[in-house]
Amino acid sequence: MLNKLLNQFLEKLDAIAVIGLGYTGLPLALQLAKHFSIIGYDNDPQRIQQLQQGCDSNQELTLHQLPALLPVFTNDISQLAKASVFIIAVPTPVDKNNLPDLLILKEAVEQVGKFLKVGDCVVIESTVYPGCTEDFCAPILEKVSGLQLGKDFSLGYSPERINPGDAVHHIGAVAKLVAASDTATLVFLTQLYQYVTEAGVHACPSIRVAEAAKLTENIQRDVNIALLNELSVAYQTLGVDPGAVWEAAATKWNFLPFRPGLAGGHCISVDPYYLLTAIKEKGGKASMVEEARRINEAMVGRIAAQVLLYMQSTFTAPCNKRVLILGASFKPDVKDVRNSKPLELANLLLSNNLEVDLVDPIVDGHHVEKIAGLKLSSQSTGYYQVIVIAVNHSAFKELKEGYFCSCTFDTSLVIDLTGAFKGVIANRKYWTI
């Protein structure tokens, strides 16, 4: 049971450890470090070295503005002994069968278990299925520490809601959910997280509610995108321009402004599988969630089929069939290429004997090569039969029709998955979803 008061942390008599300093853990650690004594632990020495040099390769934060905070970063695990609150923000991906891969979380929880003392609290920030914190993490903590949940230590859950690449919805501007294994810990965490965000802290009635709320937020997005992906196919079959439909429908006050597209990344394209696995284990099902995933997963194949069909029907003479893909990350203005659908599209087109140039001004070429075995081109070269605008990066918004005409043939096709160039490209065949 948590036996500490927030004042002990404010007076820096006790420390808070943040475990995992990536897209979510780093902003959290820095926010907390403005008020508390923080240990920012990451098991990747390169990440720590980079942070200590004041550089965040994710480009979410510019640390040289905050030199006083740099000493908090460490990859010396023994530093965790100084902490009484442990906040875990490590990745929770899926495996190749789309089943939750909890190995990284398990390792992080085991590490914390080794340093857990009577009166401490462990908070999970990673996205998990309802029941994971209490049924998966707690037994590991008990086994490794020899302590007992409820009697010796407490648990909390606070899902991360930041939106990388979005300067408006940063950690300090988004409401936080908190939940805990007992009332005293809930009060403590509610007070603690008020120092993280100015947008308010919502105390959930249980850890399972907070876990499910996080999944719900992302599943709702996935289902809405799937609906528009389905409608886009339906309207094209009916000979109706989908883009014009969205524009018209959006004039109604309660129309939700989603767009069809490639639902990739490590949240929207992962979190629904956490729910689906948990529900199936209990003998239940969530058909709409499953169908939304199926529809969204099929999008890469649908776009590739469109490219191939156009190549075969328009460019019948033997020649190199070249495609330019603009954008490699999973969403605009981020460097993150985890579960990135443009990379999947590039590989699918390559396996169909097309030449593919992939251009992205933001992402790191080494990451692209490591994750997808693809080489990033610094710019377009020569002429392409098809261009796919895959990601709506701010840098691409500057592109004018002249650019598209300069690297295509009169008969080339521009596939715009972002819809941003509707009305801009008049002298090439233009297709959007």
Ligand X SMILES: NC(=O)c1ccc[n+]([C@@H]2O[C@H](COP(=O)([O-])OP(=O)(O)OC[C@H]3O[C@@H](n4cnc5c(N)ncnc54)[C@H](O)[C@@H]3O)[C@@H](O)[C@H]2O)c1
Q: Which residue ranges make up the site for ligand X (CB under 6 A)?
A: 19-25, 41-44, 47, 89-92, 104, 107-108, 111, 126-127, 160, 162, 164, 266-267
Cα separation of 61 and 326, whole Å? 25
**Residue 137 among the catalytic residues:** no
Residue nearest to ligand X (CB): 22
Smallest gap from residue 249 Cβ to ligand X (A): 28
Cα separation of 322 and 415, whole Å? 14
Smallest gap from residue 391 Cβ to ligand X (A): 15
Q: Helices 271-281 and 207-237, interaxial angle, to 10°?
A: 110
Q: Which is nearer to ligand X, 116 or 303 (CB)?
A: 116
DSSP string of 18-33, one letter each residue: EE--STTHHHHHHHHH
Smallest gap from residue 51 Cβ to ligand X (A): 9
Which member of 267, 319, 405, 407 is catalytic? 267
Q: Which is nearer to ligand X, 19 or 354 (CB)?
A: 19
- 386 three-state secondary structure: strand
Structure tokens given for 55: 């550089």
How far, CA to CA in Å, does 251 sit from each of 246, 256, 257?
A: 9, 10, 10
Q: Which is nearer to ligand X, 164 or 261 (CB)?
A: 164
Q: Which is nearer to ligand X, 27 or 260 (CB)?
A: 27
Cα separation of 272 and 257, whole Å? 21
Smallest gap from residue 113 Cβ to ligand X (A): 12
Nearest to 433 by CA among 255, 297, 224, 241: 241
Smallest gap from residue 104 Cβ to ligand X (A): 5
Q: Which is nearer to ligand X, 23 or 421 (CB)?
A: 23
DSSP string of 118-159, one letter each residue: TT-EEEE-S---TTIIIIIIHHHHHHHH---BTTTBEEEE--
Smallest gap from residue 70 Cβ to ligand X (A): 16
Q: Which is nearer to ligand X, 108 or 356 (CB)?
A: 108
Q: How many CB atoms lie within 10 A of CB 78?
A: 10
SS3 percent helix, strand, coil of the chain, rounded to 5, is: 40, 15, 40
Cα separation of 291 and 310, whole Å? 28
Annotated catalytic residues are 267
